[in-house]
Structure 1
Amino acid sequence: MSDSVIIEPACKTDDAGFHRLVSREQARLRPYFPVTVSRCTDVGATRRYLKELVASAKAGSFHCFMLRDYEGSDPIGALILKQFDHALGKCEVAYFISEAHGGQGYATLGVMWAVDHAFGRLGMRKAVARIAPDNAASIRVVEQCGFLREGVLRGEFRTASGEFTDLLYYGILRP
């Protein structure tokens, strides 16, 4: 597992680095992060997208954080807290990590941090993750973070290609 990861709120100055990350990983990201891929077509478009994400964070509706390795260079991944239901105290955690940094514990540390942030700073009582059944790496991440599989959401997600797919539904409750 990685010794450390730097996690910071997304900001518009992440534009070039985030664009490079999304460009390198677009084949892997496109099916399940189609908006991110479609909005990060060049550095200027990425800057505008990040500016919108910063505004959404200020409004409390969507929080995006960049993961960096201990050297603090370009982003190596992203964490997202979204789909807030304040009446239930619930939000969704989404994330991706570059293929080059996969399997080193960065995603696990990031998800642990995101859950702690959702519970401690944002006052949520439950965090959920929706994961494609064939995404074994993401399933391992959430299970290592203490999430429990709560069920299968049939035909729950439409991929970038228009295909409807099932998602596994995982949840964790605030202790």
Structure 2
Amino acid sequence: MSAMRFDHYIIRPLAENDLLPYFEMVERNRPRLEQFFTGTVSRTRTLADTQAFLADIAERVQARTYLPYVIVDEATGRFIGFLDLKNIDWSIPKSEVGCYVDAAAAGQGVATRAFQVFCAYCFAEFKLRKLFLRTHESNTAARRVAEKAGFAVEGVIRCDYKTTAGEVVDLIYYGRLG
């Protein structure tokens, strides 16, 4: 897995030794992530929790069942976003893709550009035939990012996700073929 570049950012695989900058990014964005990044929020409450979470992620990367990446500002070294491939089905091959950016980078086009670069990389590097994402109707930013990256609405999956608050919600399913 190699790094990607755009503007003055690098997208690279998340590593176990990224503990502190990863934890700090999640901590800065915890209120924004709480409802729809349940696993991340629940497994990163402390630095020790986060270290165990990253060790678990490293095992999943080794097994090729989960592939996480961070968006890094080249000038500052600060983590300003996260992208991942999850629910990977190598037999098709297809994967769900996830993304969030730091609140300080929101609304500047960083998520859109990073997502476009990342999707192109995933199709070329992993020879995926399909990428998909699921998002709640209220997440207009994610919906815009998906649509600008060539994803189309394929439908609504009813009662598909349990939020951190315990509410079971419908999700919009977007897909893009490679």
* Segments ≥4 residues shifted beyond 3 Å: none
**CA deviation digits over 1:68-98, x for unaligned, max 9?**
1232522111101011122221100011111
User: Which sits farther off after the overlay, 54-63 or 41-50?
Assistant: 41-50
Q: 1:15 aligns with which of 12, 15, 19?
A: 19
Partner Cα separation in structure 1 for residue 117 and residue 88 of structure 2: 17
Q: What is the aligned partner in structure 2 of residue 172 from structure 1?
A: 176
| Structure 1 counterpart of 2:133 | 129
- State how far apart, in whole Å, the 2-side matches of 1:121 and 1:20 are: 29
Q: CA RMSD in A?
A: 1.4
**Structure 2 gaps, min length 5:** 1-5
The aligned residue for residue 4 of structure 1 is: 8
Query: What whole-Å deviation, never above 9, does each CA across 1:21-80 have from its counterpart, x for those lacking one?
Result: 111111110111111111112223212212221221121100000111232522111101
Q: 1:101 aligns with which of 97, 100, 105?
A: 105
Q: TM-score, normalised by structure 1?
A: 0.93
Residue 27 of structure 1: aligned partner: 31
How many residue pairs get aligned? The number is: 173
Shift in Å, 1:102: 0.6
CA gap of 1:114–1:27, structure 2 versus 1, over 3 A, is same
Match of 1:46, as an amino acid? T
**Amino acid in the other structure paired with 1:143:** E
Question: Aligned partner of 1:24: which letter?
Answer: R
Partner of 1:91 in structure 2? 95
Please state how far the C-alpha of 1:110 moved relative to its aligned partner: 2.0
3-state SS in 2 of match to 1:21: helix
SS at match of 2:79: coil
TM (normalized to structure 2)?
Answer: 0.91
Distance, in Å, in 2 between the alignment partners of 1:47 and 1:107 is: 26
Which of 113, 118, 129 is the aligned partner of 2:117?
Answer: 113
SS of the residue 2:31 aligns to = helix
| Matching residue's letter, 1:87 | S
Letter in 2 for 1:153: I
Between the aligned partners of 2:9 and 2:90, the Cα distance in structure 1 is 29
2:27 counterpart SS class? helix
Q: Which runs of 5+ in 1 are unaligned?
A: none
Sequence identity, in percent? 33
Query: What does residue range 127-166 of structure 1 map to in structure 2 within 5 Å?
Result: 127-166=131-170
Match of 2:50, as an amino acid?
A: T
Matched, 1:71 2:65: no
Give the 3-state SS of the residue equivalent to 1:134 in structure 2. coil
